[in-house]
Amino acid sequence: MATHDNLFDTFPPVSKQAWLAKVEKDLKGKPFQDLQWQLEEEIEIAPFYHPEDGPFENPSLKGNRPDNDWEIGEYIEVEDFREANDNLLEGLNGGVEAPLLRLRRPLDGSSLEQLLQGVKLDLIKANFEENYSAIEPWAIFRYFTELLQKQGTNLNAVGGSIDFDPLLDWSNPPIDKLAELIKYCARHMPQFRILQANAQRFHSGPDSSSVELAYTLAKGSEYLARLTALGIPPETVNAQMQFAISISKSYFVEIAKIRALRLLWANVMKGYGAPGQAPFLVAHFAEESQDENPNTNLIRSSTQAMSAVIGGVNRLYVLPANRALKEPATAFTRRSARNLQHILKMESHLHQVIDPGAGSFYIEKLTDKLADQAWAKFQKMEATGEFQ
């Protein structure tokens, strides 16, 4: 009986030339070149890759992760605080781990307490996003910490985040306020991320993935430069920062894009004297990826979520299937969105394999090509100061 050591010994190796001969035969005269895919001007993708196209020497993208687990997110729209609390508790009872509280109007300590009534804040990851003009993330943070202290919650056990992105939301970025909050979190709330480098605005489809990656790196690097200049160690900045990225419908490109971002950010951190540091990646479905037919979205969301998970994101938000209809999410569409992630864990076990894309010649090659192009563009931006 075959063992794991000689499982494939009975299968003779097949050269790339043999594979090409078989493909050309099946094409019946159609040029093989027609199967090539031009992803970007500088990136051409072959229809298949063979070990002879190597070397494929990249190590598995494990970082310091023991597995491929991710936080199950859900959007909670917050207009009426009592109604939002009902939806929040419903989601948490359904297995949500990292709700995103999308605030449609400002709140104070009393309304925040109403919003989070009945929630064990040390058992979940509460995330806040302000969607109004006069945003004050430091005020949200103050109300949140006051509530935690009022409840007697251990601050060290509290995770989550606030969408505090000064370079996006302010013409005069309040980096000084951000720095103070980062220092506080590093001392008292090490699991809470107070800085979000929102890269969703850089997303314009799979055929611009290297540009998207380059701008994402440039934004993260700019935060590192400004905050380390204020005396904050790069490891601390990275520990309190997360990247928000968009996921489109291009399955393999999105897997490779996420893997490339993880490789490239590790390289940036190495340049700051902090090797081995991984980015914390939060994935959202791109709005333009949604169809006006909810049934289409239900099917499509499976591959979108899989690309995010296989790529290695740390938190995932799946859009409710009726989002493109510009109508409120229903209990059914919210449940379907969260249950998809449960299926990927409990039935597909995608959280157990640290780097599911490792060893796929196609994914490895696409990852390398995107990383090479993005790094070249990023270096050009750094040299010209384009992002500042």
3 state DSSP class of 364: helix
Which structure tokens are listed for 180? 């103070």
pLDDT along the chain (388 residues), means of 10: 63 88 88 87 88 74 83 97 97 98 96 97 97 94 97 96 94 95 98 97 93 97 97 97 97 96 95 93 94 91 96 96 87 94 95 89 92 96 79
Find the CATH number of the domain harbouring 144.
Answer: 3.20.20.240
Structurally, the chain folds into a number of domains equal to 1
Tell whether 95 is covered by a domain. Answer: yes
- Rounded distance, CA 124 to CA 373, Å? 38
* Residue at token pair 């969607």: 131
Tell whether 22 is covered by a domain. Answer: no
User: Phi first, then psi: what are they for 99, rounded to 5°?
Assistant: -65, 145
- Rounded distance, CA 383 to CA 7, Å? 51
Tell whether 314 is covered by a domain. Answer: yes
Got the DSSP string for 145-210?
HHHHHHHT--GGG-EEEE---HHHH-SS--HHHHHHHHHHHHHH-TTEE-EEEE-GGG---GGGHH
pTM here is 0.93
Q: Where does residue 206 fall: left (phi above 0), alpha (psi -120 to 50 degrees), or beta otherwise?
A: alpha
Asked if 228 contacts 183 with a C-beta cutoff of 8 angstroms, the reply is no
Which pLDDT score is estimated for 60?
A: 65
What domain range is 89 assigned to? Answer: 71-384
Tell whether 56 is covered by a domain. Answer: no
CB-CB neighbours of 243 under 10 Å: 23
Tell whether 243 is covered by a domain. Answer: yes
Distances (CA, A) of 284 to 88, 117, 198: 19, 26, 11
Tell whether 43 is covered by a domain. Answer: no
Tell whether 6 is covered by a domain. Answer: no
Tell whether 349 is covered by a domain. Answer: yes
Which pLDDT score is estimated for 49?
A: 87
